[in-house]
A and B are shown apart, each in its own frame.
Chain A
């Protein structure tokens, strides 16, 4: 019986691990609705945080968030799909359109069964307005009444007709996998599709799995990243209840202050970031512009506490070490760390300790910065957008700052690139993402050589 797969092992073991490069990026962030405007505002140290406008937050202890402004999905979402998609899926499709264009991919010319999708996202946040719309929707009510009254026999399923406006169909919008499904339908991608949901580490895991899929020959190209829009009554209630959010309602732009002594929690953000990953020779053959290479990915769990991160950094450091080991294990290669840096008391302390566990004395000479100081915490999409910003850092040799860094904390004593961006030649960047509940992921991205 072993004869069946003997050939395969011979065939596979002969080949080296395949290299994975980034050939396209796209983003919708609180700082801008495309890559260039987001990057420009990021390196200028501009804050995207402001009072909440998406719903009436006056009853809530927290009234601020980093919203995406003036969002228009444009051509990214065909009209017939508009009823099905929520805010976060809209961001995802827009960012994907930009990334595909940026990569110069013509999906009509490529065998799309060799292209996969791996998206990190949570569910569309539930809000009062969605409930209201759901109950108002005559299609849904009518259909439910029909199903209820037809106790026996066959009756047609309520086939939702694409050509007919559906109203706001919240069940579609609420499902986590809708973003990936929509993306594959709209871009006509038929390869492996997956959705990762590990809270704040979701998109890092999605990118990590996408990298593995290319390395392991499950796909040639992966459309990967994440999207999220947690700014709603549900999340605000939940996160405010666990006291994770900053209550600096009077001065929103100063609310997110990672590693600063006076940090008091994170600020909810929303957006999407999509990267096109490609097998190296595939990218070279079609003459693609290569933006960077993913050389390491590590995932780990704290196995510590449900509500807290370990102060000694044990857990997050496993993910960082694993990623660096995959790239040969040399800690000196890391020139910059794009930190998780949420601006909560515990995370920033624990992350600092974890960085020291991995880099020892060298930790003090590595610039560490947190994009969340400007964009807020984009939860499931945070890692993807931070990854994209790191790719731009590699190409443009500018490290974005950690803004609002004013009062040093003795527990957080690294070089956090305070308040002003820094021009520096950067070859390799480590991007960290650590989730509530202790799921960690780190990705190492390198300038392509």
Chain B
């Protein structure tokens, strides 16, 4: 027997707010969280702006000072969002036995910063990496930075950089001894984690899951992505679905949702935001490898959306809100529009579409989870937030993009798409819960 799964708690740490209410009202007001890069910045970095998390103090989230030493910002965000989600869901330690409570997170593979890496190498070998960097190199200032006297890495530093360390800290704080899963594709993994948690509850592996994604801005990702030419040096994001991608602006944050088996949630009288009932992931053409691709193939994206609808046993006609990925096209129009047109046919132009990316920046592994959370909130409040900057007329003629004002409309069935830079796509389907 396949069980049903509901969303009962949300925890959000994001560029547009460090709790659900704040983030949601910023989205509705179309208030951007993008600002000039301050937490990490080098004069030579091409990227100048990002969606940074503001006013975040890890001490606000019941983290022991001793443990804090072992936590990078990714872990701090994840643990904060998890705590917020559990409180929001009204779950305490006795609600579920620990072995019946699981955790699934989308996180960056190995989370060290360039400085830490250089420092650790310097400490262990006595070699200064400056020998590898010419003074003309755009990275020369990073190397200088690492020679500050008195800097050294924590002896247990290597533990803090492993991808599963967020799981470790959260499972200790929240007493989750059930399935613990970490996913690390570049950017679809947050949505992926939610999808896998959903499956896991459906098939009875666990009754409760904390699922989502976390990412903190990091010099290493900046270096990687800018070396690939994927980052923008502008101060604002491109309009969604734009035909000319000037590059991504990164954001950071963590979004975690509480998923529960429906009957158990109802029994304990939980507030139910929405039901999750469809999930699919697929592999499509990879812009990561195939940057020369002139006309990106929309069939991988379409396949992913279609499969998630099939999984939810919904016909495309039932969908009344699409939380799109909205990434601008590499050269020419974004393939996502074509994918939506192929799945939704003539309805594609009338279903409301929105996305928060232009307000938050691309939060990499956390972005899919953020999209999922905002979709859930749209269903709960019957409100669709606007999609930030006004795109050109062609986009508006092909899609019913919500712009400027939030749209008040009943949202029963919504799909949330996250399409990865590296070609891993994920779609999630959420449904209104009617008691």
Contact partners of A128 in chain B: CB under 8 A: 121, 127, 129, 132
A195 touches B184 (CB 8 A): yes
B183 touches A162 (CB 8 A): no
Contact partner of B163 among A143, A147, A199, CB < 8 A?
A199
B138 touches A123 (CB 8 A): no
Residue on A with the closest CB to B122? A237
Known: A126-B117, A233-B125. A439 touches B132 (CB 8 A): no
Interface size bracket, B side: 35 or more
Contact partner of B424 among A81, A180, A216, A237, CB < 8 A?
A180
CA distance A440 to B153 in the complex (A): 28
Interface-central residue, A4, A174, A194, A218, by most chain B CB under 10 Å: A194
Contact partner of A197 among B159, B164, B289, B424, CB < 8 A?
B164
Smallest Cβ distance from A58 to chain B, in angstroms? 9
B184 touches A197 (CB 8 A): yes
B41 at the interface (CB under 8 A from A): no
B92 at the interface (CB under 8 A from A): no
B124 touches A301 (CB 8 A): no
B182 touches A196 (CB 8 A): yes
B46 touches A438 (CB 8 A): no
B156 touches A303 (CB 8 A): no
A4 touches B183 (CB 8 A): no
Smallest Cβ distance from A310 to chain B, in angstroms? 11
Contact partners of B172 in chain A: CB under 8 A: 303-306
A154 touches B107 (CB 8 A): no
Contact partners of B244 in chain A: CB under 8 A: 154
Contact partner of A148 among B44, B163, B312, CB < 8 A?
B44
Residue on B with the closest CB to A139? B227
A300 at the interface (CB under 8 A from B): yes
CA distance A303 to B424 in the complex (A): 30
B357 at the interface (CB under 8 A from A): no
CA distance A12 to B126 in the complex (A): 62
Contact partners of B280 in chain A: CB under 8 A: 192, 218
B176 touches A301 (CB 8 A): yes
Contact partners of A145 in chain B: CB under 8 A: 138
Contact partner of A437 among B99, B167, B199, B284, CB < 8 A?
B167
A4 touches B181 (CB 8 A): no
A174 touches B224 (CB 8 A): yes
A295 at the interface (CB under 8 A from B): no
B338 at the interface (CB under 8 A from A): no
A438 touches B424 (CB 8 A): no
Of the 9-residue stretches A181-189, A283-291, A385-393, which lies at the interface with chain B? A181-189
Residue on A with the closest CB to B233? A147
- Tally of contact residues, A, Cβ under 8 A: 99
B350 at the interface (CB under 8 A from A): no
Smallest Cβ distance from A200 to chain B, in angstroms? 9
Contact partner of B183 among A184, A197, A302, CB < 8 A?
A197
Known: A193-B282, A196-B182. A160 touches B292 (CB 8 A): yes
0/1 interface trace, chain A 107-135, chain B, CB 8 Å (1 if under):
00000010001000011001010011011
A301 touches B107 (CB 8 A): no
Known: A141-B138, A190-B283, A315-B177. A212 touches B185 (CB 8 A): no
B39 at the interface (CB under 8 A from A): no
B334 at the interface (CB under 8 A from A): no
CA distance A8 to B164 in the complex (A): 35
Of the 9-residue stretches A96-104, A238-246, A350-358, A368-376, which lies at the interface with chain B? A238-246
Smallest Cβ distance from A178 to chain B, in angstroms? 7
B137 at the interface (CB under 8 A from A): yes
A184 touches B423 (CB 8 A): yes
CA distance A195 to B291 in the complex (A): 21
Known: A234-B117, A318-B177. A131 touches B129 (CB 8 A): yes
Q: Among residues 284 to 311 in chain B, which have CB atoms less than 8 Å away from a CB atom of chain A?
A: 284, 286, 288-292, 300, 303
CA distance A81 to B289 in the complex (A): 9
Contact partners of B98 in chain A: CB under 8 A: 303
Q: Among residues 180 to 196 in chain B, which have CB atoms less than 8 Å away from a CB atom of chain A?
A: 180-186, 189, 192, 196
A364 at the interface (CB under 8 A from B): no
Q: Among residues 116 to 150 in chain B, which have CB atoms less than 8 Å away from a CB atom of chain A?
A: 117, 120-121, 123-127, 129, 132-134, 137-139
Smallest Cβ distance from A266 to chain B, in angstroms? 14
Contact partners of B179 in chain A: CB under 8 A: 298-300
B6 at the interface (CB under 8 A from A): no
CA distance A97 to B283 in the complex (A): 19
Known: A9-B2, A122-B110, A194-B192. A158 touches B229 (CB 8 A): yes
B400 at the interface (CB under 8 A from A): no
B424 touches A193 (CB 8 A): yes
B349 at the interface (CB under 8 A from A): no
Interface-central residue, A140, A170, A171, A205, by most chain B CB under 10 Å: A171
Smallest Cβ distance from A162 to chain B, in angstroms? 6
Interface-central residue, A182, A192, A307, A318, by most chain B CB under 10 Å: A192
B163 touches A198 (CB 8 A): yes
Smallest Cβ distance from A282 to chain B, in angstroms? 18
Contact partners of A162 in chain B: CB under 8 A: 290, 292
A144 at the interface (CB under 8 A from B): yes
Interface-central residue, A189, A193, A307, by most chain B CB under 10 Å: A193
Residue on B with the closest CB to A234? B117
**9 pairs of residues in contact across A and B, judged by CB atoms under 8 Å:** A123-B109, A144-B226, A157-B245, A170-B224, A181-B286, A233-B124, A242-B155, A437-B159, A437-B165
12 more contacts with CB within 8 A, not counting A8-B313, A122-B163, are A5-B277, A128-B127, A144-B226, A162-B292, A177-B109, A185-B289, A194-B281, A241-B157, A242-B155, A306-B165, A318-B178, A438-B171
Q: Which residues of B contact A (CB under 8 A)?
A: 1-2, 44, 46, 67, 70, 98-99, 102-103, 107, 109-110, 112, 117, 120-121, 123-127, 129, 132-134, 137-139, 153, 155-159, 161-165, 167-169, 171-172, 175-186, 189, 192, 196, 199-200, 202-203, 205, 223-229, 233, 244-247, 277, 280-284, 286, 288-292, 300, 303, 312-315, 318, 330-331, 412-413, 420, 422-424, 431-432, 434
